[in-house]
Chains A and B, each alone.
Chain A
Amino acid sequence: MISFQQVINFREILLCSTLSERAVKIEFQQYPGPHLQTMLKLLQLIQTGCKIDVNTKGIIYIPGIITNQDGMLQTYNCGVERSISYYLEILLILSLFGKAPLNIELNGITNDQTDQSVDSIINAYIPLIKKFCPDWDVSLKVTRRGFLAGTGTIILHSKPIKQIQATTIIERGPICKIRGVCSGSKVAPNLLNRVVSQCRNVFNDYIPDVWIHTDLQKSQKGIEFQNGYAVSLVAESTNGLFISCDCEYSNDLNNPEKVGETAALRLLDEIKNCGCFDTTQQQFALLMMAISQRKVSQIKLGRISTHTIETLRIIRSIFGVTFNIEDSVFSCIGCGLMNLSRQTQ
């Protein structure tokens, strides 16, 4: 059993532990919040033989095998503490190592200020994982938008794979496209167009190929939507790499022009400072490298977030993979993790 002390960010530990099937003991600095329960219940839902012991100071987590309930469609409520993508980020990686395909309907928040939006997951995060496993069969659909009140719904289908391939991604290439989704609910349709036009206004100096969809949630009977709007932008490079960023309506950003401009500038900042993957998602790229087959993987990163540093330490203590860093190129030999729960005939 590997023990971690003074933990705040437990999610990556649980993810690595489940992937490696090694038991962990986590001692919290302070109780993280109700989303811990939500996360543990979700992990229990997709596994068999998983044992969890929770008390006020910490948890003991003994992972089982990811069966995904034999491919049956599950419904899970993610609550309103964290958005759906907080759970999706690890669920997508775990579904690669399942026995059966994962079919799940998640209810909760689709866009909020602390996590990535679901659109960024679809447009940037899934292509990131696909870089490491090209034959991955996945579909993720947003059926309903939800702001803060947690009325959103997404449906995920994901098939397991055998092993993750070692990949070398060093050159990003020039940015050739900018795409995005501007979504909102309970607001005037005109508002979204204003956001889009402001975004375009900024990008016009850089690139003509900009296309931002608008997605306004229609009112449905029996559901009370919270009002809000958000924009998720994705820049695609010629080498097929995606860089995403999000911006939402908030007290500071209280008019559409401000939201649009901030979103566009944030994307420009990411393009300027991040390497091949955006700052939020870089830790998962590094994790994919660590669990890939026993060959050399390399990626180039720009600025490194503190979460990435934390994740790198977790990777080392659980998988024993240490990265070599030279000129912000991270290289390692993967630990050759196999999908042990896969079914063969």
Chain B
Amino acid sequence: MSDSEEEQVKQAPIIKPHQKQQKDFYAEQLQANEEADSQAPLLVVVQGPKGSGKTTLIKSLVKHYTGQKIKKLVGPVTVRSNKQHRVTFIECPSDINAMSDLSKVADLALILIDASIGFEMETFEYLSLLNNHGFPNVMGVLTHIDFFKDNKQLRKTRKKYKKRFEYETGGNYKLFYLQALKNEYYLKQDIHNLARFISIIKIAPVRWKTEHPFILADRYEQGKDNTTTFYGYVRGCTYRLNDRIHFVGQGDYYIDSFEEVLDPVEIITTQKKHRSLKDTEKLVYAPMSSVGALTIDATAGYITIPQPIFTEKNKFVNNEEQDDEEIEEQEQEQELPEGVRMVRELQQLTEGIDKQLEEEEDAQLLEGFELEEDQPIKKKNNQQQIQQQRELVRLKNRVNIKIENGTVMPISDTLLATDLHELIYQNKNGINEFDSVRYIPKVSDRDSYKEIKELFVTGFYGQNDVVDLENLEKQIEVEEQEQEEQEQEQEKKDNNQKDDSQNQKDNQQQRQQLVNELTSSNLGLYKKGTYVKIVIKDFSSSIKDDYPMILARSEVGEDNLGFIKIRIKKHRWHSNILKSNDPIIISLGWRRFQTIPIYCVQDPNDRLRFIKYTPEYEYCYAIFYGNFAPQGTGLVCTQSLSNKLSKFRIAATGIVLEMNHQFDVMKKLKLVGEPFKVIKNTAFIKGMFNSSLEVAKFQGGLIKTVSGLRGHIKKPSKLGPDGSFRATFEDKIQMSDLVFCRTWVRMHIERFYRLITSNVKLMKTMWELRQEKQIPLEFKPESTYQDQERVPVKFAPLRIPNNLQQNLPFESKEKVKSLSFRERLRQQVEKNLPVKSNMTDKEKEVYSLIQRLNTIKNEKEKKREQKDINKQKIKEAQFKGQKQHLEEGKRKYKQQKQKDKFIKQVKKQQQQQ
């Protein structure tokens, strides 16, 4: 990793506004966690690219918790991790819909990263989905580590991945390493560590979930006449019964029935010394997948019997000995243990158990195991009991309520709850006699109110008119004692601040009790963590088993449709910018839908100005028609639902700002016209409008020429073509001027909304349509840039009239007088005329003499100069000649010398010879 990248990693991640909100909210939640003791199973979403080992991880974890093996993993798996704690695992498919749905509901996301490949697209997509749907707890898991044989390289990659993961998640999140596989499971120690972290994790409350209850269905049953039954835990927050439910990814449905049923993985409340779970208490609940040999389908349960790997004794024996063997077999069968015999009988079955069961009555598979699962437990009995009680009480206390003068008056101090409750909610006829008026109390005697003196501050003192002195003293003593006690208490409080926290705890407990009471008193409230059964009628769409089934309550106001203004930013990894009026798929709240947004920016005067495309690295606003969701809800946009991973699928992310039934998004419009008649400051302009009616609408409007002369539209004129009008300007305009009228047009926002369901037909984007129909991009030649030929303009010279010139201040006056044409002409003529001399004769003589003398002098100087030049020439020639001569001499001398030398040498040689 280079230095620059490291720097990037060190940078603190930017906290986005909705994250900040989340942070504040987190603090708030920690302060008052009302529903602390009723916990739904921790929802752990296992996400990763294909082949990263998601299924293996879930299988290993389930094996760790319960010792059971899952053969085929489908749907959520709930296990009991300890007495108070349950965990649900669900595998996340790499389908973008499932990913976005599961990012909304996850309590903890286990993100698997294949170490042999590195970070893949899905991981980043899922992280940004999590980021925008409220960040839950995240844990990275690095698998396929055995790919690296070299230890040093392994360490390096680990470090690199860890840093990158921390950067992407904003730090503080663990990255786990899973070593090699062993017998198709991860190593025991690794899984043990991971499980420990899962069990001690503190769940970060996500705002969306704490306000929106939902049910992640464990299993479903499709019965006759289109009724479908779903089972699952209530999660998020307390579920308030409603007539409708939203099946995420399918649509809204009316609920037929909604009731609490037996919890398959109950919390163990009995307190015993043993902290750990017994083997019998270790439970796994995975109705859709096959655990061990048992599979429960939508319609029936199956027991899988593996291929027989054993052989019955004596099966392969000679036919001859058969008779004897038969006898022996019979004997042996009697001897066989009961279990073995039963299995063998099962193997030899010809008709299924269900048929056998039809024949027999009161058949039981195993003792203590009840086939019927949807028993509304205890509740029914309770309800009956309560009703009986109520009736009894009502009979007894019939006189307790009196209806009189438009009010219900309790006669005794304690008004009976049951009666009033019934009066309000069960009596359908109603007491509906008046339009709303104020209540006027019936007044009786003045004396009859004497008894309420004690309801006043002063009343306590007026109870006894005559007070005995002894009593007074006693009272004073008592008061003093009380005061002392109070002081002591205060001291205690000061000393022990723990008391406050104790009080808070007590308060919380009280509140908790209240919540419990309310949820158990049959007001249509279901605490989170209750296992419920929901029956939906006319459920027509098909269900995919591997797809998460999320049933969410449709909240008040949130199933309404209207225009939503959001702050949106194109995702930095998405390859292209988004276009206004191009359909887009938005995942907002529980719903995913296709809609047609338009993008805009806000001008300083709060005008929403239309823009054609989203800016590349900047936030802008978008307005679309969709489901309302509370302000501050995050949303994610995608352009298609295809599972092709050719590019980053998340197109943009945003946050809800405002909802309304109309938004004024304006687009700039410049109307152009040209004058056809100019009279002083008035001009007649054509070509801007098409009819006089249009002109009438714009009367008094501001117009402007290119040079900046401002004006008003006055009235339509009869001169010129239809739609021409009279206008006045602040100055006379030129005939060659163009006149603009700057206006704003309101943009139409499409009311297009299509919920994404499993069999939805999506609207095509412009690009897709062009691709399909082979329509080329529209080309307008006049819209392209063209070379402009510009003829240089010759302007007449500036001339300032004399009058004006005189009145100018000195600064601006012409310093050198400019001449008029006549003056200049005269000057020229004068220039050409012979100059008249005004010298006297004597002066002339002198002048001519001097002239002549000068001529002589000049002549002489000329001659002298000539002479000098000649001399110089001669000198130079001489010098040249001398030089030549000298060099020649030198050369000759050298030659002579060489000659002499040669001769000498020759002579020497001769002598030697």
Chain B residues within 8 Å of A306, by CB: 403, 406-408, 431-434
Q: A71 an interface residue at 8 Å Cβ cutoff?
A: no
Contacts of B421 in A (CB 8 A): 324-325
Q: Which of A67, A305, A332 contacts B407 (CB 8 A)?
A: A305
Q: Is A37 an interface residue (CB 8 A)?
A: no
Query: Are the C-beta atoms of A305 and B518 separated by less than 8 Å?
Result: no
The reply on B456 being an interface residue by CB < 8 A is yes
**Which chain A residues lie closer than 8 Å to B237 at the CB level?**
294
Q: Which residues of B contact A206 (CB under 8 A)?
A: 452-453, 456, 458-459
Q: What is the CA–CA distance of A304 and B415 in the complex, to the nearest angstrom?
A: 11
Query: Is B457 engaged at the interface, CB distance under 8 Å to the other chain?
Result: yes
User: Does A126 sit within 8 A of B, measured CB to CB?
Assistant: no
**Cβ distance A326 to chain B, nearest Cβ, rounded Å:** 4
With CB as the reference atom, state the residue of chain B lying closest to A114: B437
B613 CB to nearest chain A CB (Å): 23
Say yes or no: A338 contacts B415, CB within 8 Å.
no
B415's contact among A21, A67, A208, A327, by CB below 8 Å, is which?
A327
In the complex, the chain B residue whose C-beta lies closest to that of A266 is: B441
> Given A48-B661, A305-B406, A340-B631, are A269 and B442 also a contact pair (CB < 8 Å)?
yes
Q: Which of B431, B452, B458 contacts A268 (CB 8 A)?
A: B452
Contact B425 A322 (CB under 8 A): yes
- In Å, the complex CA distance between A307 and B432 comes to 8
Q: How far is the CB of B41 from chain A (nearest CB, A)?
A: 21
In this assembly, does B800 line the interface, its C-beta being within 8 Å of a C-beta of chain A? no
Taking the complex as formed, is B706 at the interface, i.e. its CB lies under 8 A from any CB of chain A?
no
Is A95 interfacial (CB-CB < 8 Å)? no
A21-B560, A208-B458, A322-B524 are known contacts. Are A327 and B658 too (CB-CB below 8 A)? Answer: no
Give, as a whole number of angstroms, the nearest-CB distance from B605 to chain A: 14
Do B432 and A328 touch (CB < 8 A)? Answer: no
What A residues does B452 contact at CB under 8 A?
A: 206, 268, 271-272
Among A72-80, A131-139, A180-188, A312-320, the one that faces the other chain is A312-320
Q: Mark B606-635, 1 if CB is under 8 A from A, else 0.
A: 000000000000000000000010111000
| A216 on the B face (CB < 8 A) | no
User: Which of A7-15, A53-61, A141-149 touches B?
Assistant: A7-15
Q: A205-B453, A272-B455, A322-B524 are in contact. Are A341 and B660 (CB under 8 A)?
A: yes
| CB <8 Å contact, A333 and B238 | yes
How many angstroms from the CA of A273 to the CA of B449 in the assembled complex? Answer: 11
Which residues of chain A are near B443, meaning CB under 8 Å?
262, 265-266, 269
- Chain A contacts for B524, CB-based, 8 A: 320, 322
Q: Which residues of A contact B433 (CB under 8 A)?
A: 8, 306
Report B320-354 CB contacts with A as 1/0, cut-off 8 Å: 00000000000000000000000000000000000
Q: Which residues of A contact B835 (CB under 8 A)?
A: none
Taking a contact as CB atoms under 8 Å apart, the answer to whether B457 and A176 are in contact is yes
Q: Which of A273, A312, A341 is close to B409, meaning CB atoms less than 8 Å apart?
A: A273
Binds B, one of A101-109, A221-229, A295-303: A295-303
Q: How far is the CA of A10 from the CA of B436 in the complex (A)?
A: 8
Given contacts A266-B441, A325-B420, contact A261 B446 (CB under 8 A): yes
B contact residues around A295 at 8 Å (CB): 34, 511
Q: Is B424 an interface residue (CB 8 A)?
A: yes
User: Are B456 and A9 neighbours in the complex by a CB distance under 8 Å?
Assistant: no
* B240/A335 in contact, CB under 8 A: yes
Q: What residues on B are CB-neighbors of A324 within 8 Å?
A: 417, 421, 517-518, 521, 523
- A331 CB within 8 Å of chain B: yes
| B810 close to chain A: CB less than 8 A | no
Chain B's nearest CB lies how many Å from the CB of A275?
A: 10
Contact flags A12-36 to B (C-beta < 8 A → 1, else 0): 1000000011100000010011000
Contact with A along B517-530 (1 / 0, CB 8 A): 11001011100000
Q: Are A333 and B436 in contact (CB under 8 A)?
A: no
Provide the residues of chain B in CB contact with A321, threshold 8 Å: 240
Q: Are A67 and B660 in contact (CB under 8 A)?
A: yes
Chain A residues lying within 8 Å of B659, measured Cβ to Cβ, are: 65, 340-341
Known: A316-B425, A343-B658, A344-B631. A245 touches B518 (CB 8 A): no
- What is the CB-to-nearest-CB distance from A310 to chain B, in angstroms, rounded to a whole number? 6
**How many inter-chain residue pairs (CB < 8 Å) link A and B?**
223
A307 adjacent to B434 (CB under 8 Å) = yes
A324 to B418 CA separation, bound complex (whole angstroms): 9
In the complex the two chains form, is A207's CB within 8 Å of B456's CB?
Answer: yes
B21 to chain A, nearest CB (A): 10
Contact A333 B661 (CB under 8 A): no
Smallest beta-carbon distance A49→chain B, Å? 3
**Interchain CB contact under 8 A, A305 and B515:** no
- Chain B residues, Cβ within 8 Å of A67: 660
Query: Does the CB pair A174–B455 fall under 8 Å?
Result: yes
Beta-carbon contact of B441 and A21 below 8 Å: no
The one of A32, A65, A207, A245 in contact with B562, judged by C-beta atoms closer than 8 angstroms, is: A65
Inter-chain contact A266/B408, CB cutoff 8 Å? no
Q: Number of B residues contacting the other chain (C-beta, 8 Å)?
A: 74
A52 / chain B contacts, CB cutoff of 8 Å = none
Determine if B242 is an interface residue (Cβ-Cβ < 8 Å). Answer: yes
Interface string of B405-447 (1 = CB under 8 A from A): 0111110001101001101110000111111111111111010
- Known A-B contacts A174-B455, A333-B238; A344 and B514 likewise in contact (beta carbons under 8 Å): no
In the complex, are the beta carbons of B408 and A340 less than 8 A apart?
no
In the complex, how many angstroms separate the beta carbon of B35 from the nearest chain A beta carbon? 10
Contacts of B545 in A (CB 8 A): none
Query: Are B511 and A296 in contact, with the CB atoms below 8 A?
Result: yes
A306 to B409, CA, bound (A): 10
Instruction: Say how far A329's CB is from chain B's closest CB, in angstroms.
Output: 9
Min distance, Cβ B703 to any Cβ of chain A, angstroms: 29
- A94-126, CB under 8 A of B: which get 1 and which 0? 000001000000000000001110000000000
A11 touches B518 (CB 8 A): no
Whether the Cβ atoms of A8 and B449 lie closer than 8 Å is no
Between A116, A338, A345, the greatest number of chain B beta carbons within 10 A of the residue's beta carbon is seen for A338
User: B241 interface residue, CB < 8 Å from A?
Assistant: yes
Contacts of A336 in B (CB 8 A): 211, 555-556
The answer to whether A310 touches B431, judged by C-beta atoms less than 8 angstroms apart, is yes
Is A333 a contact partner of B630 (Cβ separation < 8 A)? no
Contact A344 B432 (CB under 8 A): no
Chain A positions 143-195 with a Cβ under 8 Å from a chain B Cβ: 174-176
CB contact between A207 and one of B210, B438, B458, B658 (< 8 Å): that residue: B458
- The answer for the CA separation of A332 and B425 in the assembled complex, in Å, is 14
Whether A337 is near chain B, meaning CB under 8 Å from some CB there, is: yes
The closest CB in chain A to the CB of B422 belongs to A325
Are B557 and A21 touching (Cβ within 8 A)? yes
- The answer to whether B441 and A270 touch across the interface, beta carbons within 8 angstroms, is yes
Residues in A with CB closer than 8 Å to B407 are 279, 303-306
A245 CA to B441 CA, complexed, in Å: 9
Contact of B457 among A32, A86, A207, A310 (CB under 8 A): A207
B463 at the interface (CB under 8 A from A): no
A331 interface neighbour in B441, B457, B518, B558, Cβ under 8 Å: B518
| Cβ–Cβ contact A20 & B410, under 8 A | no
Could you say which residues of chain A place their CB within 8 Å of the CB of B628?
A: 21, 340
Check if A325 sits within 8 Å of B431, measured CB to CB. Answer: no
Q: Contacts A296-B514, A305-B407, A340-B659: A175 and B631 contacting too (C-beta < 8 A)?
A: no
Q: Contacts A296-B515, A305-B406 given: A337-B556 contact, CB under 8 Å?
A: yes
Which chain B residues have a beta carbon within 8 Å of chain A's beta carbons?
Answer: 34, 210-211, 237-238, 240-242, 403, 406-410, 414-415, 417, 420-421, 423-425, 430-444, 446, 449-450, 452-460, 511, 514-515, 517-518, 521, 523-525, 555-558, 560, 562, 628, 630-632, 657-662
Q: What are the 10 A-B residue pairs with the smallest beta carbon separation, nearest first? A: A49-B661, A269-B441, A279-B439, A322-B523, A265-B443, A268-B449, A176-B457, A326-B417, A280-B438, A21-B557
CB pairs A–B below 8 angstroms (14 shown): A11-B435, A21-B628, A48-B661, A64-B661, A175-B455, A206-B458, A245-B441, A262-B443, A265-B446, A306-B408, A309-B431, A338-B630, A338-B631, A340-B631
12 extra A-B contacts, CB within 8 A, seeds A261-B446, A294-B238, A337-B556: A33-B435, A175-B456, A206-B458, A268-B449, A268-B452, A269-B449, A296-B511, A303-B409, A306-B403, A306-B408, A322-B523, A332-B518
